[in-house]
Structure 1
Amino acid sequence: MSEALKMEIAEEDRLRADLYNFLGVLLAGPPDESLLMMTAGLSGDDSPLGKATSTLAKMAKLSKPQTVTREYNKLFIGLGRGELLPYASYYLTGFLNEKPLARLRDDMALRGLERSNTVFEPEDNIASLMEMMGAMIVGRFGREATLDQQKIFFNTHIAPWAAHFYSDLEGAKNSVFYASVATIGRTFMEIETEAFRMSAG
């Protein structure tokens, strides 16, 4: 992407994309030592999102990669299945690989997005959706999405279930480090929902 195109993206949108990507990375797999250290260095202000960020930074300082990996496995993998199933289809229909996944695949095809050959999970998992939203905002797979395009994607694929998932993750029996990740996710989803509600179009 050219410098001129990069400059067009407002700082606020770049920060939104960064937060979507950060959530996507943390939810795609347990953080290694360098990601934990980076997370421990974050700081927040007095806003709800800022306070959640400060709490996550404290948790990252206190956490060891092996402990967080065990927690991640209990939450999302488990014996047979984890404590939570982080998929849109499951949250919206009670089953995996249902209409929400088909609708997402159609949308992805229209935008020229496809699942990486190294990823075997259905595309409607929370980590992939966070990553897709972040990529659309900054145009990582082509031209950046307009606010209306972002709003349609968010309202179709993320808003109907993501805040509910993050609330479940906050209260999950095995959730310690990820409870703090979940608070950021839930708070961010509330902010995005309200911002899109107030935007024209």
Structure 2
Amino acid sequence: MSQMTSQTHAIAPEDADRAVIYGFVGRLLQAPPSAGDMDVLRALTADETEMGLALKSLSEAAQSANVNSLKDEYNALFIGLGRGELVPYGSFYLTGFLNEKPLAELRADMGVLGIARADTVKEPEDHIAALLQCMEGLITGAFGEPATLPIQEKFFTCHIASWAPHFFKDLTAQNTSAFYAAVGALGGVLVALETEAFGMAG
């Protein structure tokens, strides 16, 4: 959802892993998965860490999921006739309304970091998918040089940690889609682990 460049940079393996998960969850929340995406999910292997178990649960959910049904589930959860079951925007979770002060603050910070919304994207920048993909780009250097940990932490703390745990909890708890409940659980683990890691690094 965000405007990324084709630049590539050498980053530490652990940072590359973080970026992959951010991008992975972000893309699952940006649009329903394709048949190819589902093949990848079904073939996932993972360890017994907290992240590994969340990935395993998502892979298991993908085994019985149908691509066409997931399109309907995605629509019901995030789009709906007037509004989906969940509203995946930071402003809404933080203020109860769309396009409020948190979005303006995000846009200001994105401007400083050289991140711009792609012309083809119509959704506000505080959509959870866009924010996760922003973190992916900050880690990999897609917007220039890889961002330092303090810059990553500031963006994460201000624009993701402030509301995403609540969103992922709601997504995990809904009964519309077992697949997206597993996506929510994975997102919740990601945010919790990142919060802990930034706390230890600070």
Query: Which bracket does the TM-score occupy, shorter chain normalised?
Result: over 0.9
Q: Which residue of 2 aligns with 1:68?
A: 70
Structure 2 letter corresponding to 1:148: P
Matched, 1:47 2:43: no
Cα distance, 1:175 vs structure 2: 2.6
Q: Classify the secondary structure of the residue corresponding to 1:6.
A: coil
**Alpha-carbon RMSD:** 1.2
Matched, 1:141 2:143: yes
Cα distance, 1:40 vs structure 2: 1.1
Q: Percent identity?
A: 48
Query: Structure 1: which 5+ residue stretches go unaligned?
Result: none
CA distance in 1, matches of 2:9, 2:111: 24
Cα distance, 1:139 vs structure 2: 0.3
CA distance in 2, matches of 1:79, 1:151: 36
Cα distance, 1:43 vs structure 2: 1.5
Structure 1 letter corresponding to 2:16: R
Q: Which residue of 2 aligns with 1:33?
A: 35
Q: Which residue of 2 aligns with 1:164?
A: 166
CA distance in 2, matches of 1:188, 1:141: 22
Q: Conserved in 2, the CA contact under 8 Å of 1:56 and 1:181? A: yes
Q: Which residue of 1 aligns with 2:3?
A: none
Q: Which residue of 2 aligns with 1:95?
A: 97
Which of 116, 120, 123 is residue 122 of structure 2 equivalent to?
Answer: 120
Q: Conserved in 2, the CA contact under 8 Å of 1:71 and 1:176? A: no
Q: Conserved in 2, the CA contact under 8 Å of 1:44 and 1:53? A: yes
CA distance in 2, matches of 1:130, 1:43: 23
Cα distance, 1:6 vs structure 2: 2.9
Structure 1 letter corresponding to 2:52: G
Query: Structure 2: which 5+ residue stretches go unaligned?
Result: 1-5
Q: Conserved in 1, the CA contact under 8 Å of 2:172 and 2:181? A: yes
CA deviations over 1:166-193 (Å, ceiling 9, x no partner): 0000011313110001111001110000
Structure 1 letter corresponding to 2:163: W
Q: What TM-score do the two structures reach when normalised by structure 1? A: 0.95
Structure with greater contact order relative to length (CA < 8 Å, sep ≥ 6): 2
Q: Conserved in 2, the CA contact under 8 Å of 1:169 and 1:175? A: no
Q: Conserved in 1, the CA contact under 8 Å of 2:9 and 2:145? A: no
Q: Which residue of 2 aligns with 1:179?
A: 181
CA distance in 2, matches of 1:55, 1:61: 10
CA distance in 2, matches of 1:47, 1:57: 15
Cα distance, 1:85 vs structure 2: 0.2
Aligned residues: 197
How do residues 16-27 of structure 1 correspond to structure 2 at under 5 angstroms?
16-27=18-29
Q: Classify the secondary structure of the residue corresponding to 1:79.
A: coil
Q: Which residue of 2 aligns with 1:188?
A: 190
